[in-house]
């Protein structure tokens, strides 16, 4: 089952999966609400999960699915590559983590690895390495900031991309939305945070640990 709010990306995953007759996509959802309804009936062997959904965090949904259906394997496919997202995903019950840009090349290997009981993270990793990640100190993983919490999951996602220096066009292409939609989100983000420059957003994101400081050292 595929859970991702981008129809084009879901179609891409389905096309790749269809190349192997051993697998079948039994359902798909673009929201957590629909996913919860479908997954109860379908009880899939594997869920491919995005972290940013319009109505709920993919991390929270992963934890819920893992609790209700412990035999269902979950592999996160996300644009986020920071260690804190990976740690949260594994702690929530995922056993695989793949960056979206790697999906075309590594999806089928990742699916086979996860269904075979292995951990997967853009290449099969040992249980010992994942265990070390899961036991990493939690300091800083929980972002507690009143202004940040007023942002929707989509706005939080776009804040990170803006702070990383991506243009509206680049963000639009990455998230499969229009540049105008990105601009609207940027305006809402700046108004909610009362920050009205990109440099201000960068400082804010850096302070919360949303981006790596090394990104801007040069």
DSSP 54-94: SSSBHHHHHHHHHHH-TTSEEEEEES---HHHHHHHHHHT-
* Distance (Å, whole) CA 106 – CA 110: 6
**Residue 95 burial (CB count, 10 A):** 22
Residue-wise pLDDT for 108-142, tens only, equals 999 999 999 888 887 544 454 455 555 554 444 45
Please check whether residue 140 lies inside any domain of the structure. Answer: no
Instruction: Please check whether residues 31 and 107 belong to one and the same domain.
Output: yes
Please check whether residue 141 lies inside any domain of the structure. Answer: no
Instruction: Please check whether residues 151 and 117 belong to one and the same domain.
Output: no
Instruction: Please check whether residues 117 and 42 belong to one and the same domain.
Output: yes
Domain boundary residue, one of 82, 109, 134 = 134
Instruction: Please check whether residues 23 and 125 belong to one and the same domain.
Output: yes
Task: Check residue 176 and give left, alpha or beta (phi > 0: left; psi -120 to 50: alpha).
Answer: left
**CA-CA distances (angstroms) from residue 174 to 50, 147, 169, 215?**
13, 25, 9, 19
Instruction: Please check whether residues 153 and 69 belong to one and the same domain.
Output: no
Instruction: Please check whether residues 118 and 35 belong to one and the same domain.
Output: yes
* Distance (Å, whole) CA 8 – CA 52: 15
Per-residue HEC secondary structure of 14-55 comes to HHHHCCCCCCCCCCEECCHHHHHHHHHHHCCCEEEECCECCC
Instruction: Please check whether residues 38 and 79 belong to one and the same domain.
Output: yes
Say what the pLDDT of residue 188 is.
95
Could you tell me the residue range of the domain that residue 88 belongs to?
2-134
Residue 190: CATH number of its domain:
1.10.10.10
Please check whether residue 31 lies inside any domain of the structure. Answer: yes
Say what the pLDDT of residue 107 is.
94
Tokens of 69: 């259906």
Angle of helix 83-92 relative to helix 127-134, nearest 10 degrees, comes to: 100
Domain boundary residue, one of 83, 112, 134 = 134
Residue 123: CATH number of its domain:
3.40.50.2300
- Say what the pTM is: 0.63
Task: Give 10-residue mean pLDDT values along the chain (218 residues).
Answer: 95 96 96 93 96 89 93 92 78 90 89 90 54 53 73 88 89 86 95 92 84 53
Domain count, the chain: 2
């Amino acid at each position: 089952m595929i859970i991702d709010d981008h129809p084009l990306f879901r179609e891409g995953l389905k096309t790749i999966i269809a190349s192997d007759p051993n697998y079948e996509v039994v359902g798909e959802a673009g929201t957590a609400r629909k996913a919860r309804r479908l997954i109860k009936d379908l009880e899939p062997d594997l869920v491919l999960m995005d972290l940013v959904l319009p109505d709920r965090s993919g991390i929270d949904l992963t934890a819920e699915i893992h609790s209700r259906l412990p035999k269902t394997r979950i592999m996160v496919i996300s644009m986020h590559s920071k260690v804190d997202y990976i740690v949260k995903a594994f702690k929530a019950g995922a056993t695989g983590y793949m960056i979206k840009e790697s999906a075309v090349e590594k999806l089928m290997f990742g699916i086979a690895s996860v269904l075979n009981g292995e951990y997967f993270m853009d290449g099969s990793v040992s249980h010992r390495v994942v265990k070390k990640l899961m036991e990493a100190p939690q300091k800083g993983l929980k972002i507690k900031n009143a202004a940040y919490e007023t942002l929707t999951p989509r706005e939080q996602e776009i804040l990170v991309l803006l702070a990383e220096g991506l243009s509206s066009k680049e963000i639009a292409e990455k998230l499969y939305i229009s540049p105008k939609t990105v601009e609207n989100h940027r305006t809402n983000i700046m108004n909610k945070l009362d920050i009205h420059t990109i440099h201000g957003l960068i400082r804010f994101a850096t302070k919360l640990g949303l981006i790596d400081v090394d990104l801007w050292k040069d």
